[in-house]
Chains A and B, each alone.
Chain A
Amino acid sequence: MTGVREPVSQRKARSLALAGFLSFLAVWCVLSYGGILPEVILPSPTEVLRAFPALHFEEALVRSAGWSLYRVGMGFLLSAAVAIPLGLLMGTFPKVKHFLAPLVDPLRFLPISALVPLFLVWFGIEEAMKIMLLFVGTFVYLLPLVVEAVENVEDVYLQTAVTLGASRGQLVRHVLVPGSLPAIGEALRVMNGIGWTYVILAEIVNARYGLGHLITVAGKRSHVDQIFAGVLVILFIGVVTDWMIRLANQQLFAWKR
Chain B
Amino acid sequence: MARQLTPLGRVLLVLSGLALLGYGLHKYGVLDRVAALVAPDKRAEGTVSRDDFGAPSGSPSAVPAGVTPGSTRPVGGGTRLSRPIRVAIVTWGGYAGGIVANRGFAPNRNSVFGKEFDVEVELLVIDDFEKSRDAFRAGGDKGGVDIMWSTVDAYSLEYGGLARLKPKAFLQYDWSRGGDAIAVDASIKSVADLRGKKLACAEATPSHYFALYALTQGGLTNRDVEWVFTTSAVEAANVFKAGRVDAAVSWSPDVYIAARERQGGHILASTREASNLIADIFVARGDFIEQHPEDLRRFVGGWLKGVELANANPDATAALLAKSFSGIGLEDAKGMLQDVKLPTYAENRAFFDPEGSLANYHTIYKTSQGIWRKIGKVKDVYEPYQTVDTRFMDAAAQWFPKASEPAAAEFQFTAAPRGNAAPILTKTVSIYFPSGSATLDENAKAVLDTQVVDLAATFGSAYLRIAGNTDNVGSPETNQRLSRARAEAVTRFLVSKGFDRNKFEVVGNGPNKPVASNDTDEGRAKNRRTDFEVLPR
Contact = CB atoms under 8 A, between A and B. Distances in A.
A187 to B, nearest CB: 30
B41 A60 contact: yes
Interface string A47-73: 000000000111110110010000000
A204 interface: yes
Given A58-B376, A116-B235, A220-B203, A206 B230 contact: yes
Given A121-B243, A217-B204, A66 B164 contact: no
Contact of B377 (A120, A219, A221): A221
B231 A216 contact: yes
A235 B271 CA distance: 42
Given A117-B242, A120-B239, A125-B239, A224 B232 contact: no
Interface stretch (A18-26, A37-45, A134-142, A170-178): A37-45
Contacts of B230: 204-206
A66 B165 CA distance: 35
Interface centre among A213, A217, A222 (most CB of B within 10 A): A222
A85 interface: no
A220 B239 contact: no
A95 interface: no
Interface centre among B200, B228, B230 (most CB of A within 10 A): B230
Contacts of B377: 217, 221
A117 B42 contact: no
A89 B129 CA distance: 45
A223 interface: yes
A125 B204 contact: no
Contacts of A206: 200, 228-230, 239
B43 A57 contact: yes
Interface string A200-223: 000111111000010011011111
A124 B228 CA distance: 12
B36 to A, nearest CB: 10
B38 interface: yes
Contacts of A66: 39
B515 interface: no
Contacts of A40: 137, 162, 164-165
A197 to B, nearest CB: 16
Given A40-B137, A60-B42, A205-B235, A221 B160 contact: yes
B164 A39 contact: yes
A54 B376 CA distance: 11
B158 interface: yes
Interface residues of B, number: 40
Interface centre among A56, A62, A120, A217 (most CB of B within 10 A): A120
A204 B235 CA distance: 8
Nearest to A204: B231
B43 A224 contact: no
Given A125-B239, A204-B235, A221-B161, A38 B39 contact: no
B205 A63 contact: no
Nearest to B139: A38
Nearest to A201: B231
A127 B377 CA distance: 25
A57 B40 contact: yes
Contact of A63 (B41, B203, B245): B41
Contacts of B42: 58-60
A117 B129 CA distance: 20
B243 A38 contact: no
B129 A219 contact: yes
A104 to B, nearest CB: 27
Contact of A222 (B161, B203, B242, B244): B161
B267 interface: no
A56 B161 CA distance: 18
B130 interface: yes
A57 B36 CA distance: 9
Contacts of B378: 221
Interface in A68-103: none
Nearest to B229: A206
B38 A222 contact: no
Given A40-B165, A205-B235, A206-B230, A220 B40 contact: no
A63 B38 CA distance: 9
A205 B237 CA distance: 11
Nearest to A120: B242
Nearest to B36: A57
B469 interface: no
A208 B45 CA distance: 13
Contacts of B235: 116, 204-205
Nearest to B208: A220
Contacts of A207: 229
B39 A117 contact: no
Nearest to B157: A221
Contacts of A116: 235, 238
A125 B238 CA distance: 11
A120 B238 contact: yes
Interface in A99-131: 116-117, 120-121, 124-125
B251 to A, nearest CB: 15
Interface in B126-155: 129-130, 133-134, 137-138, 154
Interface string B219-258: 0000000001111100100110111110000000000000
Nearest to B378: A221
Nearest to A125: B244
Interface centre among A57, A213, A219 (most CB of B within 10 A): A219
A43 B414 CA distance: 57
Given A117-B242, A220-B204, A205 B231 contact: yes
A220 B376 contact: no
Contacts of B232: 204
A222 B161 CA distance: 5
26 contacts: A40-B137, A40-B164, A41-B138, A59-B43, A60-B40, A60-B41, A62-B40, A120-B238, A124-B244, A125-B244, A205-B229, A205-B235, A206-B230, A207-B229, A208-B229, A213-B231, A217-B203, A219-B133, A220-B130, A220-B158, A220-B203, A220-B205, A221-B158, A221-B378, A222-B133, A223-B160
Interface of A: 38-41, 56-60, 62-63, 66, 116-117, 120-121, 124-125, 203-208, 213, 216-217, 219-224
Q: Which 4 A/B pairs are nearest by Cβ-Cβ distance?
A: A222-B161, A62-B39, A120-B242, A222-B158
Given A205-B229, A224-B161, 6 more contacts: A39-B164, A58-B376, A117-B242, A205-B235, A206-B239, A222-B162
